[in-house]
Amino acid sequence: MVTQPHPRSRALAATLMSVLALLALAMLRPRLAGAGEARSKHPASTTTWSSSGSSSKAVRTETRDHSGKGYSYSTTISDDGDEDGPAEVDAYVLWSDDGNDRNGSGSTKDWRDAEDTRQELDERSAFWFRRGNERYVISDASLLRQLDEMFAPQRELGRRQGLLGRKQGELGRLQGDLGRKQGELGRIQANLGRRQALLSTQVSTLSLRGRETSPLERELEEVSRQQEEVGEMQGELGTQQSALGERQSALGEQQSELGREQEQVSKTIAGELGSFTREAIAGGQARRLGR
């Protein structure tokens, strides 16, 4: 008597073959190899903003790419205490590149005050700053060019942080894809395991009764083979996931290093801004704003 394969077995095998084919195709795709770099373009608009609480040594630096393709931030802790004394410029915002690039440091209120001032003046490029409770704005073209050069290192760091942010985002997407494939393989392994256990029980029962078990044994061998294939694919996905994790970790270290550079550049700019704004106020190029 010929025993027909169980309907559930046929359905399971069909599902397995379909998923295995899809996963095999996915594994043949290039392994990241600088994914997304060729698509990156110069952002249409960027913002770099540093903020710190008055009683905290933590400084948070954010870089936003307004094309929607990148965003990164770093948080650093300063142990310098008050050795350098209070900053002469307590907050500032520089708009350059016709308003497309913005660099600033201060509180959220400072940012709002600066933005309100720029809109009132209807200026695309300007420099707003606060010394203590006094607020000023500079719109002189020659001074803005000097400021633009002063902030060039910070803009470059912001650009590099944005690139790293995009790479981290692409790696995260790939890690998510691998996670979903691993989950699907896990479900297949569970179904195969249940089928394997059922077939083993049926073979044992029929064997004890002296019944024919060859068809079931062949099906059991096939399920075991499929279980082995899925296990190998799961291992391959795990290897890829580990490699992506190592790359993500390396990018994180680079991001931290850029954050430390950003902190140092911010300190340098803060020092330069002290003398720059004093001279601008004394020369009348910095206009004091009403309270």
d(CA 288, CA 291) in angstroms, rounded, equals: 9
* For the chain, percent of residues with pLDDT exceeding 70: 69
Res. 291 pLDDT band, cuts 50 70 90:
low
Q: Would you state the pLDDT for residue 59? A: 42
User: Would strands 134-138 and 287-288 be described as parallel, antiparallel, or unpaired?
Assistant: antiparallel
d(CA 94, CA 182) in angstroms, rounded, equals: 48
Q: Would you state the pLDDT for residue 257? A: 94
d(CA 267, CA 51) in angstroms, rounded, equals: 13
Average pLDDT of span 262-273: 88
pLDDT in tens, 152-195: 998 899 889 999 999 999 999 999 999 999 999 999 999 999 99
Two tokens, residue 7:
């309907």
pTM over 0.75: no
Q: Would you state the pLDDT for residue 36? A: 42
* For the chain, percent of residues with pLDDT exceeding 90: 53
Residue 148 reports pLDDT greater than 50? yes
Q: Would you state the pLDDT for residue 95? A: 87
Q: What is the DSSP letter of 84?
A: T
Average pLDDT of span 49-75: 45
pLDDT in tens, 218-236: 999 999 999 999 999 999 9
Distances (CA, A) of 106 to 29, 95, 130, 246: 46, 15, 9, 35
CA atoms within 13 A on the CB side of 105: 22
Rg (the chain; Cα; Å) = 31
What strand order describes the sheet that includes 126-131?
A: 70-77, 58-65, 46-51, 101-105, 91-96, 126-131, 134-138, 287-288
User: Which one, of 91, 87, 89, lies nearest residue 103 by Cα?
Assistant: 91
